[in-house]
Amino acid sequence: MKKALVLGAGGFIAHHLQRRLKEEGYWVRSVDLKYPRFDDTDSDDFVVGDLRDKNFVDSVVDRRFDEVYQLAADMGGAGYIFTGENDADVMTNSSLINLNVLDSCQKRNIKRIFYSSSACIYPEYNQLDPNNPKCSEESAYPAAPDSEYGWEKLFSERMYLAYSRNKGIESRVARYHNIYGPLGSWNDGKEKAPAALCRKVAFADDGGFIEVWGDGVQTRSFLYIDDCVDATIKLTRSEFEGPVNIGSEEMISINNLAKLIIEISGKDLSIKNIPGPEGVRGRNSDNKIIEKELNWKPTFSLEEGVKKTYDWISNQVKSQ
């Protein structure tokens, strides 16, 4: 039986990932500071602990796992990473986790490690035009991420690739672009735009309005969680090390995303744009490399994914 270690599995993406690995028949150990918030884990072993603690990391990396998925990070949506208030924590916490994980895995002679980097590593100067952002993989340099979260991710992806070159580890590095779906943060200050907007719409009274941060002209693309899990596993088992974008190329403005969610809800609501953290002006995944190297494309449209997400969040709101 193949064995996988999933780090950060109390969180959104890694929880879905551990479920998929269990469905595939893997023995799975999951690790996080906390259990998943909205669901039970499927993992054979769920260890609660702090990956900043080297002794703890050594204790969970106690065998030669076939696959290690490192998704633990101190992160959140725009309200967490773009205000500047959490910069020192974000950089210290995530760097420590990655340093510890690589060292423990190398000592155990583990080969395959997946690392989740982010579209936040891309330079701000290529993302000033909302209608024409550039996020092809090679455009990461000269580096100029717009957040300390992005700088830490860029440093760590280089560290994973350095361990591949020097220490016998086979790292696989993805740059995720806005992953969303059911079972993600929606009301704890760490939620991203799709979940935040679904929550606002679900709470709003018919005939009222919802607030949207910024002028709403800023653009993004969003990848549904099931597609993200597919691409993550496919990359990890491939011979391509990355870094590679895992995202959708279906770019939309934030106001149009809000309108889509309002339409799905069936409510009569207007949009009020208010000042707020909004990140870069435009961002879209560029999937040329992943299509070529892994023959992978997203399968869920934004509308299909948002509908599933809105249904889940409106049920959460109703059950409060």
| Residues taking part in catalysis | 149
Of 13 and 294, which has the nearer Cβ to ligand NAD?
Answer: 13
**Which residue is closest to ligand NAD by CB?**
11
Residue 73 and residue 190: Cα distance in Å, rounded? 12
Q: Quote the CA–CA distance of 206 and 243 in Å, as a whole number.
A: 45
Q: Which is nearer to ligand NAD, 187 or 267 (CB)?
A: 187
Q: State in angstroms the smallest separation of the CB of 317 from ligand NAD.
A: 19
Q: How far is the CB of 188 from ligand NAD (least distance, A)?
A: 10
Residue 89 is which amino acid?
Answer: D
Least distance between ligand NAD and beta carbon 153 (Å): 7
Question: Beta-carbon neighbour count of residue 305 at 10 Å?
Answer: 25
Handedness of CA 78, 83, 88, 91 (dihedral sign): positive
* Shortest Cβ 30–ligand NAD spacing (Å): 10
Q: In the complex with ligand NAD, which residue's Cβ is closer, 73 or 212?
A: 73
Whether the link from the prior residue into 130 is cis, omega within 30° of 0, is no
Strand partners, 115: 70, 173
Q: Which is nearer to ligand NAD, 97 or 212 (CB)?
A: 97
CA dihedral angle for residue 156, residue 159, residue 160, residue 163, rounded to 10 degrees:
-160
CA distance 13 to 246: 13
Tell me which residues touch ligand NAD (CB under 6 A).
8, 10-14, 32-34, 50-52, 71-75, 93, 97, 116, 118, 176, 178-179, 192
